[in-house]
A = this chain, B = another copy of it.
Amino acid sequence: MTTTSTNSGRPKNRATGEGGARRRGKGSAALASERREHLVKLAAELFAEKGFQATTVRNIAEEAGILSGSLYHHFDSKESIVDEILAGFFQEIMSAYRSVIDEGNDPRTTIAGLVRIAFGTLEPHRAAITVMQNDWNYLKGMERFAYLTKSEDEVEKMWVDTIKAGQRDGLFRADIDPKLTYRMIRDTVWVAVRWFKPGGRLNAQGLAEHYLKVMFDGINTH
């Protein structure tokens, strides 16, 4: 007879309940503990491999050679780990996008630049992109990750405006839908993360050039 431990009328105040001042002075992050970053990387690999929800804190801990309880000396929840992963990725890519736009080249050059940047993140941010793809629906439903949708909208605006400008300048066909075209490009780039292997036949930049070729001129002979 094992301890069945059936609910003994204990109040169910769990974590985060009262006193939001749990982990005071997260400012110690300034130290940016190496250990912490290492754990984030391990977690990212697992999230990418099995999905965020399917990865348990015990998985992460085991990968790091510690027990799950120890993880909570570094993070206050599983969510905050994935938050760190995604926030870093978004920050980097949006800043890169902006600098391409700010160069003020013609729309075709700008689009090419954006595509190259996107493919360029495939390798260094493989895990973040995979998480973003697989768990987007789940994550965007939480207030904590509202910034994901906001950033996504901002990015969409950059692309769509550039495509429209290209149409005005007569560089891009007028009979394509800018928003639709943006989505196709975006999805095609990110989805490559599923089969792209860094050591393979083609590197990320090779992928980008191949894609630009097809996207700009099609697969037909002319």
Contact = CB atoms under 8 A, between A and B. Distances in A.
A202 interface: yes
A50 interface: yes
A124 interface: no
Identical copies of this chain, number: 2
A210 B51 contact: no
B210 A219 contact: no
A161 interface: no
Contacts of A221: 170-174
Nearest to A191: B187
A54 B138 contact: yes
Interface in A71-118: 108
Interface string A40-57: 000000000111011000
B213 A216 contact: no
Nearest to A212: B218
Nearest to A174: B221
Contacts of A51: 51, 53, 134, 137-138
A214 B176 contact: yes
Interface string A125-148: 000000000101110000000000
Chain A interface, >50% SS class? helix
A188 B215 CA distance: 12
A9 to B, nearest CB: 23
Contacts of A214: 176, 181, 184, 215, 218
Closest 8 CB pairs of A and B: A218-B218, A187-B191, A217-B218, A216-B220, A188-B188, A216-B218, A53-B54, A172-B219
24 contacts: A50-B137, A51-B51, A53-B54, A134-B134, A172-B219, A173-B213, A173-B217, A173-B219, A174-B221, A175-B213, A176-B214, A181-B210, A183-B195, A184-B211, A187-B188, A187-B191, A187-B192, A214-B215, A215-B218, A215-B219, A216-B218, A217-B220, A218-B218, A222-B222
